[in-house]
């Protein structure tokens, strides 16, 4: 009887539902402002200039917004991204990581890293951990403006009350350039499918499923619109979904390719003006991208309709006085319309006593067998609670319950 009791107790405690508070990292525009770069560009821009038409935003082939395609896009990655705390090793060593559904690898800086970026972040000290297993193999994750190099290892990983044993991860030893120097996060924890891994081994959530430490093979994100003193800015829930944070029903969409969290999108409708991807297109649901990204030709047309003006620092300016007249942008997914008003797709920034408005859309060209792809990043995901179901290979969306 005592053995049965212990078995039942172990089974009950081995399954968990864990909430991870998410914080928004500092905007890269804050750093640009500190350096005087943004003010220098904006000081001569008058509101009347924002209405002009233009022939091209970015040339075809502009790199993706996702982490690592180019330094400019890394800035956008850092602009409105969410990160939380994990620990590695025994005793635990704490790190802040971006929980990224657009990649599959876990990496943190190594104590042996020689780059400036590592010097300003917490670094993993393998020699202090009794549970560390050296792998010996090397890995490289390539970026448009450089690359990340490191060595592979296995460790005990803890996220909240969840413990995953022998988790494969990377210790970065070389992070060239300045892309990561001012970031709030130490590393990245990828939550996409194993097909995207650069580091050999199972991604974190795959190991959680294999080791049976989550209640359901589901994780979900709630990203808040703004900071509230004393409360987290968002939440990652491992092992389920939180019905207090969204309004039913949930609209489930099957994953169309098991690499990214890739789904089919029927169309993008600009109110009373234009329909983009009218015959349907593929979309990536990516918490690791801050903006909404689409093919260059579509984003050019969209920016023309909302009167956005390109800048030489990768931002698109909009006349704030025109906010109330800007069209709604609706994404049709699984027969359900997800509409963003200008208040939701335009980001506001104060420089001194002047307010500037910036577009939440960006041009990205991703080639796939299914045709051009879109990226539904945080501008979209802030408005809609997102559920990632590995058990049934589907993504769910529901309207997020934001405090008024």
- Catalytic member of 79, 100, 105, 298: 100
Asked about 100 being catalytic, the answer comes back as yes
Cα separation, 124 vs 94, whole angstroms: 9
Asked about 206 being catalytic, the answer comes back as no
Buried b (16+ CB within 10 A) or exposed e, 61-98: ebbbbbbbbbbbbbbbbbbbbbbbbbbbbeeebebbbb
Residue 360's nearest CA partner among 335, 381, 388 is: 381
Contact of 41 with 35, CB cutoff 8 Å: no
Which two tokens mark 161? 């009350």
Number of neighbours of residue 11 by Cβ within 10 angstroms: 10
Number of neighbours of residue 234 by Cβ within 10 angstroms: 23
Sheet (strand 346-351) strand order: 309-310, 316-318, 354-359, 346-351
Q: Residue 311 burial by CB count (10 A; 0-12/13-18/19+): exposed, middle or buried?
A: middle
Please say whether the dihedral angle defined by the alpha carbons of residues 3, 15, 169 and 88, taken in this order, is positive or negative.
negative
Which residues is 267 bridged to in the sheet? 332
- Catalytic member of 79, 206, 286, 389: 286
**Which residues are known catalytic residues?**
100, 286
């Amino acid at each position: 009887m005592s053995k049965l009791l212990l078995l039942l107790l172990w089974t009950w405690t081995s399954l968990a539902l864990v909430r991870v508070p998410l914080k928004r990292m500092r905007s890269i525009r804050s750093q640009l402002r500190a350096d005087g770069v943004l003010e220098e560009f904006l000081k001569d821009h008058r509101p009347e200039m924002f209405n002009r038409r233009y022939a091209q935003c970015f040339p075809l082939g502009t790199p993706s917004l996702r982490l690592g395609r180019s330094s400019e896009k890394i800035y956008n990655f850092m602009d409105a991204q969410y990160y939380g705390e994990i620990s590695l090793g025994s005793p635990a060593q704490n790190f802040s990581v971006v929980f990224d559904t657009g990649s599959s690898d876990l990496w943190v800086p190594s104590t042996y890293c020689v780059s400036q970026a590592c010097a300003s972040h917490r670094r993993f000290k393998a020699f202090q951990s009794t549970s560390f297993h050296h792998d010996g193999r090397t890995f490289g994750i390539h970026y448009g403006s450089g690359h990340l190099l490191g060595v592979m290892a296995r460790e005990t990983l803890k996220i909240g009350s969840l413990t995953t044993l022998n988790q494969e991860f990377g210790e970065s030893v070389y992070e060239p350039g300045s892309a990561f120097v001012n970031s709030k996060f130490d590393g990245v924890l990828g939550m996409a499918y194993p097909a995207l891994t650069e580091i050999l081994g199972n991604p974190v959530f795959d190991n959680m499923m294999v080791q049976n430490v989550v209640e359901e093979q589901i994780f979900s994100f709630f990203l808040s619109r703004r900071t509230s003193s004393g409360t987290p800015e968002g939440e990652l829930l491992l092992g389920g979904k939180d019905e207090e944070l969204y309004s039913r029903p949930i609209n489930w969409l099957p994953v169309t390719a098991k690499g990214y969290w890739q789904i089919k999108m029927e169309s993008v409708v600009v109110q009373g003006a234009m329909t983009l991807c009218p015959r349907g297109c593929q979309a990536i649901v990516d918490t690791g991208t801050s903006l909404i990204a689409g093919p260059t030709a579509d984003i050019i047309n969209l920016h023309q309709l909302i009167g956005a003006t390109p800048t030489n620092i990768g931002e698109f300016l909009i006349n704030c006085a025109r906010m109330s007249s800007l069209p709604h942008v609706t994404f049709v997914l699984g027969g359900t319309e997800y509409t963003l008003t200008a208040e939701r797709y335009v980001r506001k920034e104060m420089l001194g006593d002047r307010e500037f408005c910036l577009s939440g859309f960006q041009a990205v060209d991703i080639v796939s067998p299914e045709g051009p792809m879109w990226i539904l990043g945080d501008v979209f995901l802030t408005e809609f609670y997102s559920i990632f179901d590995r058990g049934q290979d589907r993504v769910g969306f529901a309207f997020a319950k934001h405090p008024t």
